[in-house]
Chains A and B, each alone.
Chain A
Amino acid sequence: MNGILIEQSLLLSIALFVLGVTGVLVRRNLIMILMSLEIMLNATGLAFIAAGSRWGQADGQIMFLLILTLAAAEVGIGLGLTLQIYRRFHSLDTDSINKMQG
């Protein structure tokens, strides 16, 4: 029974990750993109936990903790950048922030 659960949860993790990637690619709003990134990070964490549960080691949860820390720092910086972009361009459309083109 343990084996089945681990497999299913890995499957779920993959599905969530793919949905997160879709969200990054489909949405134009900067906030939506950041949210999709969160979905992806979350899915990865789930995969780690599943692996840790399989082997019965604490390492899986520790990796999840570190991922969490990473997500927190990233959200902080990302939202700060979002604020700056909004102040300069007065829009959150990522397609119009293409001054680096060429």
Chain B
Amino acid sequence: MLELTLFYIASAVALFATVMVITRLHAVHSLLYLMLSLLSVGVILFLLGAHFAAVLEVIIYAGAIMVVFIFVIMMLNQGQKTIEQERLWLQPKGWIGPALLALILFLEVLVMLVQGDISGTGNIVNSKQVGMALFGPYLLAVELASILLLAGLVGAYHLGKIIRKTARPEENS
């Protein structure tokens, strides 16, 4: 029963956050809400007994990919109007929502951890099983995933290059 309640709360948070993501005007606002959505999904994964996946979700998805987003938005500074925007961003109405929801999420996890082993809500598939599968039947998948990441790396490097139209003065020698 407890698990079910926790599950409902977490899914409510996820849904609300996702709705917020797609309705915000400011890119960074929606990004914050997206972070929240990802975190709540991580909680749900934990409730489902997929501990390894939950951790991965938080570290990689919310921790790395979203950060990349933030960096790009930072690079695409829109010009003079961003200075005013900074002041606006720091207003409570910008971050109070995500913060509050994140707090609720945090309390949930706390309750889960305090309660002890709440793995009864599903079969726990622990990391050992996952590791055994990765190094066993899914070895090829791992290698392919790494090649994919390599391709992504090279592509991102190329696409991010700035092509200078005008020659620099030092080069005329």
Contact = CB atoms under 8 A, between A and B. Distances in A.
On whether A and B touch (CB less than 8 Å), the answer reads: yes
Interface of A: 1-2, 4-6, 8-9, 12, 15-16, 19-20, 22-23, 26-27, 29, 31-32, 34-36, 38-39, 42, 45-46, 49-50, 52-62, 64-66, 68-77, 79-84, 86-87, 92
Contact of A61 (B18, B125, B145): B125
Contact of A32 (B27, B52, B129): B27
Secondary structure call for the A interface: helix
Given A12-B15, A68-B61, A80-B159, A62 B134 contact: yes
A20 B18 contact: yes
B105 interface: no
B69 interface: yes
B19 interface: yes
Contacts of B155: 76-77, 80
A42 B37 contact: yes
Contacts of B93: none
Contacts of A39: 18, 21-22, 34, 37
Interface in B91-132: 120-123, 125, 129-130, 132
18 contacts: A5-B47, A6-B122, A31-B27, A31-B76, A38-B61, A45-B57, A55-B123, A59-B133, A60-B50, A62-B134, A64-B56, A69-B149, A73-B152, A75-B68, A76-B153, A80-B157, A81-B159, A83-B159
Secondary structure call for the B interface: helix
Nearest to A74: B152
B75 interface: yes
Contacts of A75: 65, 68-69
A13 to B, nearest CB: 9
Interface string B37-76: 1100100110111101100110011001100110011011
Contacts of B159: 77, 80-81, 83-84
Given A80-B159, A80-B160, A84-B159, A16 B18 contact: yes
Nearest to A5: B121
Interface string B155-172: 111111010000000000
B83 interface: no
A8 B11 CA distance: 9
B61 A35 contact: no
A26 B22 contact: yes
Contact of A2 (B30, B122, B153): B122
Given A42-B37, A86-B76, A61 B69 contact: no
